[in-house]
Structure formats: C-alpha cells, structure tokens
Amino acid sequence: MSKKLYEHVHPDEREFVDRAAEWLEGAARYHEVKLTDFLDPRQAQILEMLAGSEPDVRIRLSGGGTHAERCRALIAPDYRELDGEDMKLAVLSITPADTKFTDIGHGDYMGSVLGLGMKRAKIGDIHPREDGCHIVVAAEIADFLNLELRQVHRVNVFTEVLPLERLQSSESELMEMELTVASPRLDAIVSDVYRMSRAKILAPIKAGRCRVNWKVEEDPSNALRTGDTVSLQGFGRFRVLEIGDLTKKGRYRVRIGKFV
C-alpha cells in the first residue's frame, strides 16, 4: 500500500509514508505499540489512509482538544482498546512577568521554545491568550521546558506544567483583508497577500516552500478555493475565507484571513 500511495503524495512526503508503513507493520505483525511525535494534519491524513488498508491495526489521534490541529498518534494491534491509553500530553502554561506585555504572539512563543533546542515534532498546538499562553507538548519534554524557559521575545515569563484537562484553548486570530485579484490562482493570491510580484513568488512555490492544506503545492496555477489554508515558508500562513463575485473590471473579490 505504501508504494501505491507514492503516486498520490509529494516526493518530500515519501519518507514519512515509509515510516508510517513501518509503524503499521510493527503493530500488525509483531504486536508493537507505537506512540508518535506530533503529526501535522497532512501526516495524520497519510497515516489514516495507510491504516485503512490494515485490518489488524487501529490508531488513535489526540492533540489535547476536539479541534486540535497537531496530534500524536497511537498505533496498536486491533485487539487493543485505545480510548483509555495515556497519549503522554501535557500543557505548558506561560505567563509574562509583566502584565503590560500582552502583544506576544504565536510566533514568539514558538521561537522561544524551539530556541531551547526542541524539535517541532515535540510541540503541539499553541494557544496564545491575553494573559499568557498554553502550549500542548509531549509529556517527556514538559519538565525541561518548565525549568529552562524564562523569556519569550525578551519578556521574562513564569512557567508551570498543567494536566491536559486544564488546557485553555484559543481560536487562532485572523487578520482579515479584502483583495481583488486577476484570478484565484495560487500565485495570484499569494503575491497579493504578501505584496510580492508574481515573478518573485514563483521561485519559492516551485521550490516546494508553499503548502496548501498542509500538502506541498508546486503548481502556481493551482486554483484556490474557499476554506483553503496556505502557508509560505518564512512568510506565515493565511486562510481563504471567501472567493466572491467578479468586479466590473473582471477581477475576483477575495477575502483572506492572515494568521497572527
């Protein structure tokens, strides 16, 4: 099945396909139980596609909340009941020492945690709030972060490790913007969102630095649709909230939400 899936994934995703296939084979043939690091939605989708052809395996995905974006996966033989299994998730609570600093954002928290040498795969969803932030992390690194994280964006912070049931999730903030574009093509919308020329935006797209719904997209002419989430490495990400009607000049009205 993993080789057949090669036809439907980007070459950069094939390494993950092979790893996922090994996890499933270990559960099916050797009765192994595997708890993965955090998977992004695309990786979770690939794992579920592979698991769909393995009748002797079951998987459970959990990231700390009903709408978690990044999840750990538990892969086990089909006779094992997974609902009560410990997914080894913890919450790192971060509170600025000075309450005047309320404009610390998602990227600031992410950068500070990764700056301590953490792998992105050990970090789940990040939930910034006005009075601080809750980050879902792999339980095995929670105590280290609690000891070592003392600053975020040059602001001193206090930290605490909390059980998962105390997670205070937050909706991602979107800064809305309205555009008129020549077409709903990927390169047309991305160039307007990031205020770069169409010519300059082609290189990073063709180099595999752009993802649409977490899947690498190298075709600049790919048409975006309402609901698509687009990320461009080094520039952040946005969601297409609405592709509206045409203006009198034949341009498309598009409403975008940039993640802040």
Choose the final residue of a domain: 166, 197, 214: 166
Q: Are residues 153 and 115 in the same domain?
A: yes
Choose the final residue of a domain: 124, 142, 166: 166
Give the model confidence (pLDDT) of 108-130 as tens digits: 999 999 999 999 999 999 999 88
Q: What is the mean pLDDT of the chain?
A: 93
Q: Within 10 Å of residue 211's Cβ, how many Cβ atoms?
A: 18
Q: Could you tell me which residues are beta bridge partners of residue 73? A: 61
Do 207 and 199 form a contact (C-beta atoms < 8 A)? Answer: no
Domain of residue 126 covers 89-166
CA dist 98 and 155 (Å) reads: 8
Domain annotation covers residue 82: no
Q: Are residues 157 and 207 in the same domain?
A: no
Q: Are residues 68 and 110 in the same domain?
A: no
Among 244, 211, 210, smallest CA distance to 225 is for: 244
CATH number at residue 225: 3.10.290.10
Give the model confidence (pLDDT) of 75-109 as tens digits: 999 999 999 899 999 999 999 998 776 678 888 99
Q: Residue ranges of the alpha helices (H) in the chain?
A: 2-5, 14-30, 41-51, 106-114, 139-148, 186-193, 198-206
Q: What is the pTM of this model?
A: 0.86
Q: Are residues 122 and 179 in the same domain?
A: no
* Domains: count for the chain: 3
Rg, C-alpha atoms of the chain:
21
Domain annotation covers residue 206: yes
CATH number at residue 132: 3.30.70.330
For residue 200, the SS3 value is helix
Number of H-type helices and E-type strands within the chain: 7, 14
Domain annotation covers residue 218: yes
Give the model confidence (pLDDT) of 127-159 as tens digits: 998 889 999 999 999 999 999 999 998 899 999
- Using pLDDT thresholds of 50, 70 and 90, give the confidence band for residue 22: very high
Choose the final residue of a domain: 77, 105, 135: 77
CA dist 227 and 255 (Å) reads: 11
Q: Are residues 182 and 162 in the same domain?
A: no
Q: Are residues 64 and 135 in the same domain?
A: no
